[in-house]
Amino acid sequence: MSDIDFRYGAVSSPIVTPFDADGDVDADALASHVETLVDAGLDGMVPCGTTGEFASLTDAERRTVVETTVEAADGRVPVIAGAADTTVSGTLDHLQAVDAAGADAGLITLPYYHNSTSPAGQRAFFDAVADDAPLPVILYDIPSAVGEPIDPDVLAAVAEREAVVGLKDTTGDVSAVDVAVDRTPEAFTVVQGVDALLYPSASLGVDGGVNALSQVIPEVFVALGEALRAGDDDRALTLHRRAIAPLFERCGDHGFAPATKVAAAHRGFVPDPRVRPPLTLPDEAAREAIAADVDAALDAV
- Specify whether 140 is catalytic: yes
Alpha carbon distances (Å) from 34 to 56, 74, 123: 20, 10, 34
Q: Which of 112, 168, 199, 261 is catalytic?
A: 168
- Specify whether 261 is catalytic: no
Gap between the Cα atoms of 149 and 179, Å rounded: 13
Q: Is the dihedral of CA 25, 30, 61, 252 positive or negative?
A: negative
User: What secondary structure, in 3-state letters, does 43-66 show?
Assistant: CEECCCCCCCCHHHCCHHHHHHHH
Length reported for the chain: 301
Give helix 119-132 / helix 88-101 axis angle, nearest 10°. Answer: 40
Gap between the Cα atoms of 109 and 281, Å rounded: 26
Q: Give the containing element (helix H, strand E) for 137.
A: strand 137-141
Q: Which of 8, 112, 113, 140 is catalytic?
A: 140
φ/ψ of residue 25, rounded to 5: -60, 130
Residues that are catalytic = 140, 168
